[in-house]
Structure 1
């Protein structure tokens, strides 16, 4: 299988727990590979039994839901054209959590639909893909394939979104990625800007949103190290109102034998620290961090995760603690058991708005 087929696949990154934009999906099924042209399909399916104790409402609720990653099917193609390789990916993400809300109308969204041009110069991506800001923060999360903190009814759980990092919203973009330069990789992209001055299409943008990410990987005395730094900037204007949005994400991960330690964080101004999108915001600040440790032994991996977000812009303080056990039945079948404690409160009044403990037992099938 041509590794460039899925070089930018978020699912590939999730499955391989790999860095940024450098890996192919080992679970993908190659359907065609002839005369320099290849086509493959990958899939991710999951469901969790979820039991939640809502401390404020004094209720306990049981549900069958999906985890932090939605159920997904992706299609990848690649074609050698002399000095260039043309590629592309389309992936379709669907919820199973709307079963009773919309019995015959399951929501499907397209988070990736792009083409790539690869050469000695690196890669240019055109189309829709996840953003660069906070990208590695979320894709290198040790509980990415788990459940994490509660989400919205009818949607996915939130993992550590709003409790350690924001979501790298899929956006229309033109992005350049450098070749691997001794473990160093650089990406920079122009993305469709969000309307943050008034939240309406009448906002003016003298320039598109700019996002970038730098990653570095090395192996020092059997210690595998990965570090990253990413950011975004845009300015949105409507009449006398101007909102400048900035954000910086960062992190480091170190692994030796079966032990992995990771720490990441972000700081932003004029950005929604949960979901970046259209909507009027102020230039208030937000920041957060996530610390994690995991240990793998045999077919098992135990994870302890703790994250916080302090958002002046949303008048919100959150904290989320997760203990998880991941067991590989085989290379395509995984079992998950998690216990999560999540709390959020008003940062001005201190009043608690959410306090919930969640037990999640799930199964994941990939191909």
Structure 2
């Protein structure tokens, strides 16, 4: 029996979308398969030479760093019992960017640790996985396997997080997914809420709720993908209540090697970078990302532009990317990117950051 859980994992969706390969090509290495039980392993390894020109500080730096996606190894399990298939995934995400800061203590985090139950009814997922809000926005980003906008000097790059979409934080959740209904799929779940009102008598009396609807269709030679996702939660303390809401959306059209994607989000009382515990207000944020790519042979050329306007963070950002991806084979990809990132203080218009980044790298996946 083939393992289906990898195909449903966040990493699988990301890699399939970014590479344009079939799910089978990214279906990991099957280690064990006996009757109705299987076990497989998948991996993702990358490194980039990064040259960054900081316009405001008037400095230039050279680094060897990983790209937007960290280096990852994942383990997938599947067992069929009667009409049900039980599965699970555990994936470990590791940085290489701390080589000199902590030479023998590379940071490892677990972004996926969940079990699944599949049947004719669809799927129920229990455990930790990426969120549903902004999920397709990021997983269908054309530069997902590239570098994108800079992050902290010694940290990960941000791709288009904060310049077009927020991060779908891996969170504890109980999520239901429908079967494929003629191209229409619906996912909805309850999630661990964020404490956005720390202080005396702080409470979150209900879980965070997230959902996503996706639709895939072919109109002649044009392949269409559309999605809408959202998040809602409430947090309060003795003096303050913060109701957080967010809506993400997007559409992609592909024909004869050409792909055009437009996505965006709007939120209130929600951090447009990533949801974490910490005091927030009910101020607004919104953003959008427009991208075009053209695939010819083993090559893919990408143009990308994104913006975020965040009243809640008093910040405006934008990022422009030109990227080139070359498939040496189905398991090795070469990447060249040039990114131009700017951020300003929204209330004053003062420049906060301006940097141009050249990133040249390689990706190995199995």
User: Shift in Å at residue 262 of structure 1?
Assistant: 0.2
| Distance of aligned partners of 1:221 and 1:314 in 2 relative to their CA distance in 1, 3 Å threshold | same
| 2:287 aligned residue | 288
Scaled by the length of structure 2, what TM-score is found? 0.97
Using a 3 Å threshold, how does the CA distance of structure 1 residues 25 and 268 change in structure 2: closer, same or farther? farther
CA distance in 1, matches of 2:200, 2:295: 49
Report deviation, 1:275. Answer: 1.1
Alignment correspondent of 1:182: 182
User: After the TM superposition, which of the residue ranges 7-16 and 262-271 deviates more from structure 2?
Assistant: 7-16
Counterpart-to-counterpart distance in 2, 1:2 and 1:191: 30
Q: CA deviation at 1:366?
A: 0.5
What is the alpha-carbon root mean square deviation over aligned residues? 1.5
Q: Which runs of 4+ in 1 moved over 6 A?
A: none
Alignment of 1:144-183 (within 5 A): 144-183=144-183
Secondary structure (helix, strand or coil) at the match of 1:161 reads coil
Pairwise CA distance, 1:202: 5.5
User: What displacement does 1:147 show?
Assistant: 0.2
Report matched runs for 1:342-357 at 5 Å: 342-357=341-356
Q: Is the 8 A contact 2:3 2:78 kept in 1?
A: no
Q: Is the 8 A contact 2:326 2:334 kept in 1?
A: yes
Gaps of 5+ in 2: none
Return the alpha-carbon distance in structure 2 between the equivalents of residues 364 and 32 of structure 1. Answer: 26
Residue number in structure 1 paired with 2:298: 299
Q: How many residues align?
A: 364
Counterparts of 1:10 and 1:227, CA distance in 2: 18
Q: Distance in 1 between matches of 2:25 and 2:81?
A: 22
Question: Aligned partners of 1:202, 1:73: CA distance in 2, in Å?
Answer: 41
- Alignment of 1:32 onto 2:32: yes
Which range moved further: 243-252 or 147-156?
Answer: 147-156
- Please give the residue correspondences for 1:183-332 in structure 2 after superposition, counting only pairs within 5 Å: 183-198=183-198, 203-332=202-331
Q: Is the 8 A contact 1:228 1:251 kept in 2?
A: yes
CA contact (8 A) 2:40 2:75 kept: yes
The aligned residue for residue 110 of structure 1 is 110
Structure 1 contact 55–355 (Cα < 8 Å) conserved: yes
Q: Residue 15 of structure 2: SS of its match in structure 1?
A: helix
Q: CA deviation at 1:4?
A: 2.0
Q: Unaligned stretches of 5+ in structure 1?
A: none
1:65-144 pair list within 5 angstroms: 65-144=65-144
Q: Deviations over 1:31-84 (max 9, x none)?
A: 011120000000000000000111001111100000000000000000001110
Once the two structures are TM-superposed, the CA of residue 154 in structure 1 deviates from its matched residue by: 3.0
Label 1:105 to 1:142 Cα distance change in 2 as closer, same or farther (>3 A). same
Once residues 202 and 73 of structure 2 are traced to their aligned partners in structure 1, the CA distance between those partners, rounded to angstroms, is 35
* Mapped partners of 1:113, 1:203: distance in 2: 28
Whole-Å separation in 1 of the counterparts to 2:239 and 2:200: 16
Alpha-carbon shift at residue 206 of structure 1 (Å): 1.7
Contact 1:134 1:165 in 2 (8 A): yes
Q: Do 2:231 and 2:245's aligned partners in 1 also have CA atoms closer than 8 Å? A: yes
Distance in 1 separating the partners of 2:248 and 2:332: 32
Does the CA contact (< 8 Å) of 2:25 and 2:330 recur in 1?
A: no
What residue is the counterpart of 1:63 in the other structure?
A: 63
For residues 75 and 132 of structure 2, the distance between their equivalents in structure 1, rounded to whole angstroms, comes to: 22
